Structure 1
Amino acid sequence: MKRINRRVGFIVFLLIAGIVNGMAQTVVQGVVTDAVNNQPLQYVSVVFKGGRGTVTDSLGRYTLRSSGSNNTIQVTYVGYRTITKIIVPGTTQTFDVALETDPKAINNVTVSSNKRAPYRNKGNPAVELIRRVIENKPINRMEHYDYVQYDQYEKLEVSISNVTEKLTKNKLLKNYQFIFENRDTTKVEGKSLLPVYLEETLSKKYYRRKPEKTKTIITGEKRVNYGEYIDNQGVSSYLNRLIMDIDIYDNDIPLFTYQFLSPIADLAPTFYMFYIRDTITEPNGQKLIKLYFTPRNTNDLLFRGNMWITLDGNYSVTKMVMSTSKNANLNFVRELHINLDFEKSEDNRYHLSKSNVAAEAAVTRNAASGFFGERTVSFRNFQINKMLPDSVYNGDATVKLDKSDQLADTFWLSNRHDTLTKTEAKVYSNIDSLEKMPSFRRTMAIATFLLAGYTSVGPFEIGPAAAFYSFNPVEGFKLRLGGRTTTKFSKRIYFETYGAYGFKDERWKYFLSSTYSLNNKSIYAFPLNYIKVSYQHDTKIPGQELQFVTEDNFLLSFKRGQNDKWVYNSNFKLDYVHELPNHLSYTLGFKNLKQEPAGSIVYTKRENGVDVNVTKLITTEFSGELRWAPHEQFYQGKVFRIPIINKYPIITLRFIAGVKGIFNSQYNYQNVNMRFEKRAYLSQLGYSDVVVEGGYIFGKLPYPLMTIHRANQTYAYQLNSYNLMNFQEFVSDHFVGLNIDHHFNGLFFNRVPLLKKLKLREVVAMKLLYGGVRAENKPANDPTLIRYPLLNGEPTTFSLEDKPYLEGSVGVTNIFKLIRVDLVKRFNYLDHPYVTPLGVRVRFRFDF
């Protein structure tokens, strides 16, 4: 059971499926097979005679619904005899069909060579057809209408597939047999599914073209709850980010953390091959073309499957069935299937009515067990061009009705678009019972300590464990112990503290903070709204900026080169943080900081013709920060919120004013800083993470108070630092920087015969920094300013002059599905002491 619960937060898998017509009174369902070998037949046409129809899925299954008085269904398939069946209107019935081959079809003999004719786009009718579909995309999209509104139901389920008997009979899990008994063996042929996660959402959707605006009103939401040890909202956000709503009319389809090229993208004829398979005439006279598509390179992030296209001049897609190739450059995915159904609107165009995405993943392709994800989305009451008042679209893009997550079961029984299976319905009560079991809580507490480094003792958490022990040249062997209160102590007031001792410098370090939540919610979960006061006395490396780890982390104790530039900080801070529901946030702050040099750093300046040592720098700052991160989502860990990266930008604007004379502050200055970051998706070329930032400091001040650029002397590759820059090597009072980290997702390796089997991926990066120090702030021009430090008579701190600092790297990711290795090259300022012009850096990253 421990394995099950530890995996729940990492599960990536989902599915989109639903029902077409909730008002249906006649329901016919069944399986179509070959009469000779009993194998299921896919894409068989099953229709109400004179009415609507469908085709079978990969398992030969079909479901037909109608609110009319249809009493005949017809089953047709190329090469087989047509079957007609009389049914009883207004009932639900099962009709399994075994199709026999048509003698007329098998008597036609085709002689061909073993060699396939070379594929060409030019003169290919299938390519000409897909180009017509591409040309008509604008009129087949929702954005073609002035107004659109519909009801939407989503269901997301994650299951463990094929749970082994060895696991179920484990003596340690004897108390959890009620979980293992709730298995579904009917949903997917040959698989036993044990549901471990389920969530449902009901919402009303509105779209307006001019001025363009979308609005989502969530009327109901329900999900399993694993309790305090798992960020349930974060798990939901992560799973829904892995596969968002699929729009085949977009050029790219988001799946997992990648963008798959749509088979009707503008560039589809370049990357796909197309073949016309059949011409179909529906009972209502609608003519369709069945078009098969497949990747030119099976390792690329592309699909293979069939689509059905109208020949009425709109070239609409009425159905699409597709899957990824087993050779696609994905790590853990064994199967991925997507079914999209469309229905005709009142203007004879087609809109999505049902969508189904099913995926199975495992650590290895041959593993006995894995994870099966299914997300269903269905649409009802689709209305077009019905004008609504502006009040409908005003306010936030997404609104949740009050108590939408506290609705009774009767609400769901009458409003969900589909009925839960007995197995699905039992997941809620099973997980609720599981979460209340003391043995489960103990297991999760141990797992949390091992993974996050915190363990709970009543209303207090002790940790993080990775910071209990570290070492460095200044403090030597360093022990640290700390913790914080949780919501069990109070939802309003939070305390955090630690104490540490360095055995070389024989000095105590400590931290204490108190936080008051203004919205009576956790201060670690969105949206933040709190006031925090803190005091910290500890060491710091100037220019070291870390993400998702603490500075005392044991692994960061190992550094390259000269690691002797340190300061002792005594830092008092008062902060007010407020995040708004639209992901605009602001922070107001006050800080009084005392810096004492340590290690090889000595603060020296000249006064009255004599060199003097400055033992302490004191500053008092007032600050304000404005941050905008539209549609931002997180997984909330114990220490950090880990962002779930999307296509939207993040913009941060910060202003700091140092004021002389307040609490012994020694300097007046103003610091303005702006940062822009965005992931840019480039379809089959991969994606780039782009960061642009710049800053300017007004006023006269010594170099320790300027911008000390982020450096990295560890052996880990750090995305936001300059990986071959030494600590405190460069300072600036004005600068601009550009970082580009581009992932090709195997674009080149997928075409190398031996490498493509390893599923390696290419990455290139470039980091550029341009800036400088104004003449008034250069120690060489003013001896009263603190000099740049020297080591063995050589300067170790510099300002950027006429040329920018530049480093680049080429790397390989997805080594053993986890490791990224970069060869990093520094291109200039190579005459500085202790510089490494070339280095290898490693980063661990979990990718799909």
Structure 2
Amino acid sequence: MKRVFLLGLLCCSFFSAWTQTKVSGKVLDTQGEPIAFANVLFTNTTEGTITDENGRFYLESEERYFRLSVSFLGYSLQEIELVKAVTYEMEIRLEESTQALKEVIVYTGKQSKKNNPAIDLLRKIWKNKKVNGLRKYPYYQYDKYEKIQFDLNSIDSSMANSRMFRGMEFIFDDLDTSRITGKTYLPFFLNEVSERVYGNNPLGKERVDVRGNKNSGFEGNQAITAFVEDLYSDYNIYDNYLKFFDKSFTSPLSRTGVDVYNYVLNDSAFIDNKWCYNIVYYPRRKNELTFKGDFWVNDSTYAIKKINLAVTKSANINWVKEIYIAQEFEVLNDSVFLLKRDYMLSDFSFSKKEDARGIYGKRTTVYDNYQFNQKKPDEFYKKQSDPYDPRLFNRDSTFWANARLEQLNKDEVGIFTLLDTLNTVPKFKTYYNLVSILGSGYIEVDKWNLDIGDVYSTFGNNQAEGIRLRVGGRTYFGQNDTWRLEGYTAYGFKDDKFKHGFSAKVLLDRKQRLILSAGNRRDIEQLGLSLTSTQDVLGRSIASSAIVTVGNNNRLTNINLSTFNLEWQPVKNFRVRVGSTFRSLSSALPDEFSLDYVDPEAPGGVSSSLQQMDLNTTLIYTPGRRTIGYGVEPITIDDPFPTFLVNYSKGVSGFLGSDFNYERVQLSITQPWQIGGFGRLTSTLELGKTYGEVPLGLLSVIPGNQTVFSLYKTFPNLDFYEFVTDTYATLHLEHNFNGRLFSRLPFLRKLNLREIVGFRAAWGELSQGNIALSAPTNIPLQAPSDRPYWEYSFGVGNIFKIFRLDFNFRGNYLDNPDARRFGVTGSFGFSF
């Protein structure tokens, strides 16, 4: 019986291989030079691809084909017979054509575009895009199924036999080949989500009801889920710019596409009984955020029937070697084209070399069961479903059999079994824990339900403490904990003192996000790095531990801070926080920096320490913010969103020895602006005013920066406490061109550098009463009231893919003592 079963499997495998066709190779001219963006199709079909910049291609089909057609403008069509179902490493040479093309007028480079029929079609696509698809109906609803998968790719025998995978060789038993790249891959992560989407076009409202969520591989790891959510946000191919990996790529259907792409009318054919034109497009210049590919457009509605997009390898994007997108549309009522299937593959790798190993990220989204003109009450769209209902994560096999609009293939089904087995292998757990520590900064101790960390804050150094060591921890029963305790202790070898911080949070109501928190911190801190008073009892500014500083960085403060807060989220992304703080402040280096103020009741008429009780109300609005999880500390998806903040503080004297009565109102607006293909501008406007007389420790300090790090919302050419105000306005502008300008320079193009420009300005006033109240003996109290203080900077990012350098210039107040006219700051990090 076993032999019969084995024979049956072999027959099935043979039949499956026979019904597939796989080809790969290189297209060259007669001189042996590669031909980029050549068309490669199975003869008499619409199944095809185009070659990359090196002339390479890979093409796969579930059908068995016997001929391959290869063509490119200016070259004769070449047809190759496919003797075998699988033919790799083909070398195809095209000869220059001697016949003139009469049907299609083609352009290249900067030649005239007036007589290009492809661009004529493109204009009709622009004209009709607002009436295509879901926009045709006032109300709509549909089912949506999405699966996201991660795979190790470029698997070979040397990798399978390496010491790294010793004891885990079984994971290589079932490997497959990508239909896009031809590389062998090993799946290790799969997430499935089933949703029902409702829309109201007149109101511009949409509601998404999650019906099921299933995760295999790193199950429950919300940090990975948030990373995946940010990578694969939704997009519309009709938009002018498509956002992937925090960057805006020019869409081939964009109104600005004619300046970025070459378009060629290539073919025409019936697809699903609809006559369509095929347009091939490819970029005019290298190193820009562009695609290459083709699309099929209907001849009457000018709606897209199929489109393929592949990011060029020269595009200025890090850690991503390849991005491939394919969308298919179905026809409804003879005229309406609705998205049916969306597939996206990303090849993540440290190198863009052909044989470099990496990870595939694949998202497949299927849409079905469209319904229209079923009106819902307006209140229906205000009540969003709970995407973290535990029942959604425990759907049975019957639910998923019905919910999957596209069934799992054998590799995807095998992920569940593979991960169950891997979780029993000690070496795999070791690798997983190491990656988890690098990502979160915490070492998990499961048997104690405790995390040790964060490890990145262990070491520090400053003038008051000298070398500083810190150790901390937090309770951790799961990522959706409804309460959490966290704390740390630190020791400074120079001042021979222990410091500490402690925080407690509890989620009282999950739907309203009602959170009660309290904490205490006794430490040394560099104040004046932010215009808003610190309420953080656990964090620490980089200025307090900077190993390398600019100038005499001795203006550190002893702080004993206690906080009590209640936070409420009445509507999505709008938070209200009310609470109180009690602070004790004194100079950490009294011989070099003074926080003294006039106090008639103190001995000598001067006090060196300050105690202050404040009542605070803060309103925070973050439209577009997305989070993962429902516990007391949800994870924010790293997607730029605006932040509006209003803060009111009331200082109360007398209570617990509090020293001053005053009021403070502050407003902050941070807004990211996507400037099309010219990158992103980030702007921050801050306004504030203090009513009443207060000493230096309670005034608003224009944030200086004496570190060597580039810190947004600080002034890198200002010293700490150089400008002090009670009324202020600051503006920060930073624009990252993402290499748009450098890509035009041949000698810089291949370096993939990115240009950043910045402008900062501050205006403020300081009353004579506040000047008279403070008695610092070593720093002048000055506000930029005569004229706004300003700076500008030029930066170069993506140096070796991880470094950024900023060259900062001071615009005025050059006569201030020790004024720094010029400075260089930098930062490092991993970004796409």
Same fold (TM over 0.5): yes
What pairs up with 1:778-793 in 2 under 5 angstroms? 778-779=771-772, 785-787=773-775, 789-791=776-778
Structure 1 position 322 matched with structure 2 position 309 = yes
For structure 2, the 5+ residue unaligned runs are 1-17, 28-37, 51-57, 88-94
Q: What does residue 553 of structure 2 align with?
A: 563
Select which of 251, 266, 275 maps to 1:277: 266
For the structure 1 residues 468 and 656, does the alpha-carbon distance in structure 2 shift closer, same or farther, using more than 3 Å as the test?
Answer: same
The answer (yes or no) to whether the contact 1:582–1:631 under 8 Å persists in 2 is no
Range that drifts further, 723-732 or 744-753: 723-732
| Aligned equivalents of 1:136, 1:566: Cα separation in 2 | 62
Offset from partner CA, 1:37-82 (integer Å, 9 cap, x none):
9xx98455878xxxxxx64456554579xxxxxxxxx999999999
Give CA-to-partner distance per residue, 1:426-465, whole Å, 9 cap, x none. Answer: 2123224434544444444455455654334433333333
* Counterpart residue type for residue 800 of structure 1: P
CA distance in 1, matches of 2:155, 2:342: 27
Is contact 1:242–1:254 with CA below 8 Å preserved after alignment? Answer: no
Structure 2 counterpart SS, 1:405: helix
1:685-696 superposed matches below 5 A: 685-696=678-689
C-alpha displacement at 1:141, in angstroms?
Answer: 4.5
**Which of residues 505, 511, 518 in structure 1 aligns to 2:508?**
518
SS at match of 1:241: helix
Instruction: Tell me, in whole angstroms, the C-alpha distance in 1 between the residues paired with 2:634 and 2:683.
Output: 21
- Per the alignment, residue 361 of structure 1 pairs with 348
Residue aligning to 1:221: 213
Which of 532, 555, 561 is 2:517 aligned to?
532
Unaligned ranges ≥5, structure 1: 1-27, 48-53, 65-73, 83-94, 99-105, 521-525, 780-784
Report the alpha carbon displacement of residue 478 of structure 1 after superposing the two structures with TM: 3.0
* Corresponding residue number in structure 1 for 2:11: none
Distance 1:117 1:656, change over 3 A: closer
2:414 is matched with 426
Cα distance change on mapping 1:373 and 1:615 into 2, 3 Å? same
SS of corresponding position for 2:113: coil
Q: If the length of structure 1 is used for normalisation, what is the TM-score?
A: 0.82
Q: How does 1:401-440 map to 2 (within 5 A)?
A: 403-440=391-428
Distance 1:446 1:125 in 2: 56
Question: Match for 2:563 among 552, 570, 573?
Answer: 573
- From the superposition, tell whether residues 642 and 825 of structure 1 become closer, same or farther in structure 2 (CA, over 3 Å): farther
1:236 aligns with 2:225: yes
Contact 2:766-2:782 within 8 A present in 1 as well: no
Residue number in structure 1 paired with 2:800: 816
- Asked if residue 255 in structure 1 is aligned to residue 244 in structure 2, the reply is yes
Q: Look up the equivalent residue of 2:254 and give its one-letter code.
A: A
Amino acid at match of 2:419: I
Tell me the residue number matched to 1:708: 701
1:266 aligns with: 255
The residue matched to 1:557 in structure 2 has which SS?
coil
Q: CA deviation at 1:614?
A: 1.0
Please, which of 451, 454, 467 is the counterpart of residue 477 of structure 1?
A: 467
Q: Which amino acid aligns with 2:155?
A: V
Query: Counterpart amino acid of 1:334?
Result: K
> Please, which of 139, 142, 163 is the counterpart of residue 150 of structure 1?
142
Structure 1 window deviating more from structure 2 (605-614 vs 189-198): it is: 605-614
CA contact (8 A) 1:214 1:397 kept: no
Retained in 1: the 8 A contact 2:59–2:179? no
Which residue in the other structure is 1:500 paired with?
A: 490
Residue 703 of structure 1 deviates from its aligned partner by 2.5
In the other structure, the counterpart of 1:758 is 751
1:117, CA displacement in angstroms?
8.6
Any conservation in 2 of the 1:341–1:352 contact (CA below 8 Å)?
Answer: yes
| % identical equivalent positions | 25
Q: Does the residue aligned with 2:418 lie in a helix, a strand or coil?
A: helix
Q: What is the Cα deviation at residue 747 of structure 1?
A: 1.1
Query: What does 1:74-89 correspond to in 2, within 5 Å?
Result: none
Is this contact kept in 2: 1:575–1:589, CA < 8 A?
Answer: yes
Q: Distance in 2 between matches of 1:396 and 1:121?
A: 48
SS at match of 2:556: strand
**Within the alignment, does 1:299 sit opposite 2:287 as a pair?**
yes
Matches of 2:346 and 2:595 in 1, distance apart?
61
In 2, distance between residues paired with 1:122 and 1:262?
21
- Separation in structure 1 between the aligned mates of residue 110 and residue 711 of structure 2, nearest angstrom: 47
Deviations 1:729-749 (A, max 9, x none): 222222222111111111111
1:459 to 449, 453, 464: 449
**1:840 and 1:530, CA in 2 relative to 1: closer, same or farther beyond 3 A?**
same
Give matches, 1:346-745, under 5 Å: 346=333, 348-366=335-353, 367-390=355-378, 392-396=380-384, 403-449=391-437, 452-457=440-445, 458-487=448-477, 491=481, 494-518=484-508, 529-545=514-530, 550-551=540-541, 556-579=546-569, 582-599=572-589, 600-606=592-598, 612-633=605-626, 643-646=636-639, 648-745=641-738
Give the TM-score taking structure 2 as reference length: 0.83
Residue matched to 2:35 = none
Letter in 1 for 2:669: F
Give, as a single letter, the amino acid of the residue that structure 2 aligns with 1:565: R
**C-alpha displacement at 1:807, in angstroms?**
1.2
SS in 2 for 1:754: helix
| CA shift in 2, pair 1:602/1:77, >3 Å | closer
C-alpha separation in 1, matches of 2:632 and 2:198: 38
Q: What's the offset of the Cα at 1:146?
A: 0.9
Determine the structure 2 residue equivalent to 1:192.
184
Aligned to 1:773: 766
Say yes or no: does 1:122 pair with 2:114.
Answer: yes
Relative to 1, partners in 2 of residues 1:311 and 1:696: Cα closer, same or farther, differing over 3 Å? same
> Distance between the aligned counterparts of 2:68 and 2:457, measured in 1?
67
Bigger shift: residues 157-166 or 194-203: 157-166
Q: CA deviation at 1:727?
A: 1.2
> Shift of residue 617 of structure 1?
0.9
Q: 2:819 aligns with which of 824, 828, 835?
A: 835
Supply the distance in 2 between the matched residues of 1:115 and 1:130 (Cα, whole angstroms). 15
Alignment-mate amino acid for residue 119 of structure 2 = V
Partner-residue secondary structure (3-state), 2:124: helix
Look up the SS of the partner of 2:393 in the other structure. coil
Q: State the shift of 1:630 in Å.
A: 2.7
In the TM superposition, residue 225 of structure 1 has moved relative to its aligned partner by 4.5
Matched residues in 1 for 2:518 and 2:667: separation? Answer: 25
- The one-letter amino acid of 1:300's match is E
CA RMSD of aligned residues (A): 3.9
Higher relative contact order (CA 8 A, sep 6+): 1
| Alpha-carbon shift at residue 31 of structure 1 (Å) | 4.0
Q: CA deviation at 1:507?
A: 3.2
| Alpha-carbon distance change, 720 to 635 in structure 1, aligned in 2, over 3 angstroms | farther
Cα distance in 2 for partners of 1:141, 1:283 equals 17
**Quick one: distance in 2 between partners of 1:469 and 1:707?**
29
Tell me how far 1:819 sits from its aligned partner: 0.7
Question: Is 1:341 aligned to residue 328 of structure 2?
Answer: yes
CA separation of 1:511/1:772 partners in 2, compared to 1, >3 Å: closer, same or farther? same
| d(CA) in 2 for partners of 1:755, 1:368 | 24
User: Partners of 1:589 and 1:437 in 2: how far apart?
Assistant: 48
Q: 1-side partners of 2:200 and 2:567: how far apart?
A: 34
For residue 151 of structure 1, report the CA deviation from its aligned partner.
Answer: 1.0
Q: Which residue of 2 aligns with 1:801?
A: 785
| 1:427 alignment partner, SS class | helix
The verdict on how the C-alpha distance between 1:413 and 1:187 changes in structure 2, with shifts beyond 3 A counting, is: farther
Residues 331, 817 of structure 1: 8 Å contact kept: yes
| 1:110/1:543 CA distance change after superposition, 3 Å | same
**What code does the residue aligned with 1:514 have?**
A
Q: Distance in 1 between matches of 2:514 and 2:258?
A: 51
Counterpart AA for 1:253: L
**CA distance 1:798–1:139, change in 2 (3 Å):** same
CA distance in structure 2 between the aligned counterparts of 1:402 and 1:494, rounded to whole angstroms: 20
Question: What is the one-letter code of the residue matched to 1:363?
Answer: F
